[in-house]
């Protein structure tokens, strides 16, 4: 079954021609296939348009797809970019890779979660959270802030985070640069490195090492954390910095690619993805944990309403090049 789905995509990418009879649309997606695949299949059933999806690997998620889209700018192969975060979507907008499209189904999204010129729209939110091993720590020992990574209360090697150079970990690092200022943020990460905090190949690796007790706690995405909780792992979720700056809430984003080979189909897919019913489907299947349209609705694993970080997404994006360059110097292997 998997071969049947991958082969048309490979033919399309190699030949540059539609690989199946009838209408089709090519989407590059950094959203985990377990979450996005059911959405694509529902869209196909609803419209009769075949979705050819190209995914990326966990360790270079989003960054790899972004580089690929920039390289294909002059001769685009894809129609739609569905991103699990927002910073690289803004980068593609800056690079001229995206085209504006104001979907009529995105008008009910709050202003912070849709581009005023129509270059992208948000799709569900995932906060960055702290995942704690409940066999190693009691509730009184739980961390409450990202800055607790520097606290002597926990050994550095018992704390983990993903490399802050890719995906949501890179976006989170840029958010710290926007919140603390570059000088303080760089100093924070230098101390993280000096303390021996475990820097791992992806948020799912952080999650797994917390579950197995290799780590006492770590920083990850809410979907990874909630998945561990659902599988009855010995874990608890802490949303950080709720009494101070607030937690980073990362919206997924969807955008039309400039020169999309299948423009009507691309617009139809975007309309479907940004609709409120799709957001609800993502909430049900675990692809996101918060509705961008109703942030006050809290999930069962969160004791109090979410206090999100009040920093504009564009301000976070502007810090991404600086943060990535400096953190590569600090964390390069």
Enumerate the β-bridge partners of residue 238. Answer: 130
DSSP states along 236-270: EEE---TTTT-BPEEEEEEEEETT-TTHHHHHHHH
Taking residues 283-307, report their average pLDDT.
Answer: 91
Instruction: Using pLDDT thresholds of 50, 70 and 90, give the confidence band for residue 60.
Output: low
Instruction: Using pLDDT thresholds of 50, 70 and 90, give the confidence band for residue 16.
Output: very low
Task: Point out the least confidently predicted range of 55-59, 256-260, 269-273.
Answer: 55-59
Name the CATH architecture for the domain at 2-125+251-285: 3-Layer(aba) Sandwich (3.40)
| Count of beta carbons in the 10 Å neighbourhood of residue 12 | 20
Looking at per-residue pLDDT, the higher value among 2 and 275 belongs to 275
What phi and psi values does residue 267 have, to the nearest 5 degrees?
Answer: -65, -40
Instruction: Using pLDDT thresholds of 50, 70 and 90, give the confidence band for residue 17.
Output: very low
What percent of the chain is modeled with pLDDT above 90?
84
The distance in angstroms from the start CA to the end CA of the chain is: 38
Residue 202 and residue 238: Cα distance in Å, rounded? Answer: 19
Looking at per-residue pLDDT, the higher value among 105 and 4 belongs to 105
pLDDT at residue 14 greater than cutoff 60? no
pLDDT at 259: 98
pLDDT at residue 7 greater than cutoff 50? no
Residues, the chain: 333
Angle between helices 313-331 and 167-180 (to 10 degrees): 110
- Provide the 8-state DSSP code for 46: H
Residue 53 and residue 265: Cα distance in Å, rounded? Answer: 14
Are 90 and 314 in contact, with CB atoms under 8 Å apart? yes
Instruction: Using pLDDT thresholds of 50, 70 and 90, give the confidence band for residue 63.
Output: confident
Domain 2-125+251-285 identical in fold to domain 126-248+305-331: yes
Looking at per-residue pLDDT, the higher value among 125 and 3 belongs to 125
Q: What is the pLDDT of residues 171-204, one digit of tens each?
A: 999 999 999 999 999 999 999 999 999 999 999 9
pLDDT at residue 303 greater than cutoff 90? no
Domain locations along the chain = 2-125+251-285, 126-248+305-331
Question: What class is the 126-248+305-331 domain?
Answer: alpha beta
Enumerate the β-bridge partners of residue 253. Answer: 83, 122
Instruction: Using pLDDT thresholds of 50, 70 and 90, give the confidence band for residue 291.
Output: very high
Task: In the chain, count H helices and then E strands.
Answer: 11, 10
Enumerate the β-bridge partners of residue 235. Answer: 133
The first and second tokens of residue 230, run together, are 């659902």
Read off the pTM.
0.85
Residue 53 and residue 287: Cα distance in Å, rounded? Answer: 16
Q: What is the pLDDT of residues 217-253, one digit of tens each?
A: 999 999 999 999 999 999 999 999 999 999 999 999 9
Q: DSSP H helical segments within the chain, as ranges?
A: 2-15, 33-47, 63-71, 87-94, 167-180, 182-195, 203-211, 222-230, 263-274, 276-285, 313-331
pLDDT at 229: 95
pLDDT at 62: 64
Taking residues 138-167, report their average pLDDT.
Answer: 96
Residue 303 and residue 141: Cα distance in Å, rounded? Answer: 17
pLDDT at 61: 53
pLDDT at 4: 42
Angle between helices 87-94 and 63-71 (to 10 degrees): 10
């Amino acid at each position: 079954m998997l071969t049947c789905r991958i082969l048309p995509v490979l033919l399309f990418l190699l030949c540059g021609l539609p690989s199946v009879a009838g209408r089709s649309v090519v989407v590059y997606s950094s959203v985990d296939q377990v979450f996005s695949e059911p959405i694509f299949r529902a869209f196909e059933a609803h419209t009769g348009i075949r979705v050819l999806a190209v995914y990326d690997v966990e360790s270079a998620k989003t960054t790899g797809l972004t580089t690929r889209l920039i390289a294909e700018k002059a001769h685009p192969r894809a129609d739609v970019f569905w991103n699990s975060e927002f910073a690289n979507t803004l980068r593609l907008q800056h690079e001229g890779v995206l085209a504006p499209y104001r979907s009529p189904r995105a008008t009910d999204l709050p202003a912070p979660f849709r581009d005023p010129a129509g270059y992208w729209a948000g799709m569900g939110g995932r906060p960055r959270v702290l995942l704690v091993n409940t066999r190693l720590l009691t509730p009184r020992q739980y961390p409450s802030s990202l800055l607790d990574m520097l606290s002597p209360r926990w050994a550095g090697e018992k704390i983990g985070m993903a490399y802050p150079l890719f995906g949501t970990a890179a976006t989170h690092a840029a958010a710290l640069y926007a919140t603390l200022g570059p000088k303080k943020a760089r100093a924070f990460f230098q101390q993280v490195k000096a303390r021996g905090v475990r820097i791992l190949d992806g948020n799912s690796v952080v999650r797994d090492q917390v579950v197995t007790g290799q780590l006492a706690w770590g920083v990850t995405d809410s979907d990874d954390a909630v998945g561990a909780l659902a599988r009855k792992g010995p874990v608890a979720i802490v949303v950080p910095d709720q009494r101070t700056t607030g937690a980073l809430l990362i919206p997924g984003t969807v955008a039309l690619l400039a020169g999309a080979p299948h423009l009507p189909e691309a617009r139809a897919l975007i309309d479907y993805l940004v609709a409120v019913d799709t957001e609800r489907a993502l909430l049900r299947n675990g692809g996101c944990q918060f509705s961008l349209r109703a942030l006050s609705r809290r999930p069962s694993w969160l004791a109090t309403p979410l206090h999100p970080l009040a920093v504009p997404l564009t301000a976070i994006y502007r810090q991404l090049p600086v943060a990535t360059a400096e953190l590569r110097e600090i964390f390069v292997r």
